[in-house]
Structure formats: structure tokens, C-alpha cells
Amino acid sequence: MTSSLDLNLLPIARQGGQDLPELPDLYAVLPPRRPAHGREADSLVLYLSLTGNAPLSPEQHTHLLERLAQKYYKTSGSVTAALRAVAEALNLYLLDRNLRSTGGGRQGIGLLVLGVLRADTFYMAHCGPVQAFLINPRETRPLHELSSAGRGLGLSRTTPVRYVQARLADGDYLLLASRPSAGWTESVLRHPQRQGIDGMRRQLVDYAVADVNSVLIHAQAGTGRLRFLHRKPGAPGMAW
């Protein structure tokens, strides 16, 4: 069933006090023409950050995310089974890359959020100490569990995955972060009401006390489309 929600995706990333105009960590795609059985109604969001001293180039990062998306849509079965297949494939890729770099002391650890929108439910797989918040007019609810998160992917043949899901309605927000701000807590983050996604962005920037790497997702009544938003320098609002 096609979702009645569109997803607007806005990267919010700062490094050295400067906003980053691009975020290769984020990739989102609608189902291809002939997906595996069970994948026909799944819109996919991949959010992968690498920590350590062995980064990927932006081109390599994008190519990897494209391959992982293909893996998801070629895997039949339940949503969680397909999400695990992607996480395991990424873990083996990063582990092999790290083992080949052992002599040089280089290592890249994957922090991953896989998200799938089906109808009004957003299914997620968390790998590593990532954070996620559901923000709606009634509550701000953390969806992560850092005490059992592990360090991330690429360190062993075991693939630690935590599954979580959230029901979305028109106007709800999801905040995903591989490098959150310490100021982003459920006690201070509030739904912006009529201020829209730019009001939510301003709130996050105001509470960003250091460098951050995150993605803000805004659910909006629609037909299942995905929109990548960006903020033009000096502009008051969003563009896509």
C-alpha cells in the first residue's frame, strides 16, 4: 500500500562552527520497478556515518549507499529481515576493509540508521550509538537505547542491530543523529507547531552546543514522495 505521507529530509550538520552544505551520509529512495516480494511499498532511508581515521570519499560513500539500497530491494521477506541483511552486508564490508588496513593502523566504524516507511509506520534498524527522537504535538520521545548500542559496525563478524518503529502522522518529526548535541534532550525539544520545519531546524541549531551530524525528517500528508531539503545561505526558508 502506497504511503499517504511524504517525507521531507533535511540534513543538519555542523563542523568547526560552520554548516555543511552537503551530507553524503544520507541516501533515500523509492522502490524500483521490480523489487523483491514484500518490498513493493517500502520507501528507504539510509543514514550512515563513519568514525575513525579511515573515511570514505563522498563518491565512495554515495556508491556504497546505492549498493546497500539495491541489497534491501532485492531481499524478500519481512522488513526486519531485509534490514538485517543490509546491516550484515555493511558490517562485513567494513570489517574486511578494516582488516586489510590493520598494518597501517587505520579503522572506520559504521554508525547506521536504516529507515523504512510503509503506510504510516517508520521501521528502523540502529547500529552503534546513534540517537533518534520522535517529536509530535503530544510528546518528544527518544527511540534509542545507548546502554545496549555497542560501538558500531566493522569491528567483528557479529552485527549488533536494534529494531524500533514509530507511527507517523501529518506534521510529525523524526530526528536521527550519529553525532547529536548534548543539548538535544526530550526535556527541551518541542514540536514547532505552526512554525514548520524551519522552526524545528532553528530550535536544533539553537541547542547545538558543538559539532553535530543529524537528519531531520518531517512527515507531511501526500502520496509517498521523498524530498531532500537544503537551506540556502542567507535564505530565510527551505528549498529543494
Residue 98 half-sphere exposure toward CB, CA atoms < 13 A = 20
Q: What is the pLDDT of residue 201?
A: 95
Distance, CA of 129 to CA of 145 (rounded, Å) = 8
CATH number of domain containing 62 = 3.60.40.10
- The angle formed by the CA atoms of residues 220, 130 and 31, to the nearest 5 degrees, is 45
DSSP string, 151-206: S-BSSSS----EEEEEE--TT-EEEEEEE--TT--TTT----GGGHHHHHHHHHHH
> What residue type is 240 in one-letter code?
W
What pLDDT, on a 0 to 100 scale, did the predictor assign at position 1? Answer: 61
**Rounded to whole angstroms, how far apart are CA atoms 44 and 3?**
12
Q: From 51, 200, 43, select the one nearest 133 (Cα to Cα).
A: 200
- Give the DSSP H/E element, type plus range, for residue 67: helix 58-73
Q: By residue range, what is the domain housing residue 127?
A: 5-239
Provide the 3-class DSSP secondary structure of residue 42: coil
Q: What sign results for the dihedral spanned by CA atoms 219, 140, 80, 57?
A: positive
pTM above 0.85, yes or no: yes
pLDDT for position 231: 63
> How many domains, the chain?
1
Q: Cα 91 from chain centroid?
A: 17
pLDDT score at 238: 44
Instruction: Give me the residue label for grid cell 509506520.
Output: 121
Gap between the Cα atoms of 78 and 63, Å rounded? 25
pLDDT at 148: 83
| Per-residue confidence in pLDDT tens, the chain, 240 aa | 668 999 999 999 988 878 887 889 999 999 999 999 999 999 999 999 999 999 999 999 999 999 999 999 999 999 999 999 999 999 999 999 999 987 778 899 999 999 999 999 999 999 999 999 999 999 999 999 988 888 999 999 999 999 999 999 999 999 999 999 999 999 999 999 989 999 999 999 999 888 999 999 999 999 999 999 976 554 444 443
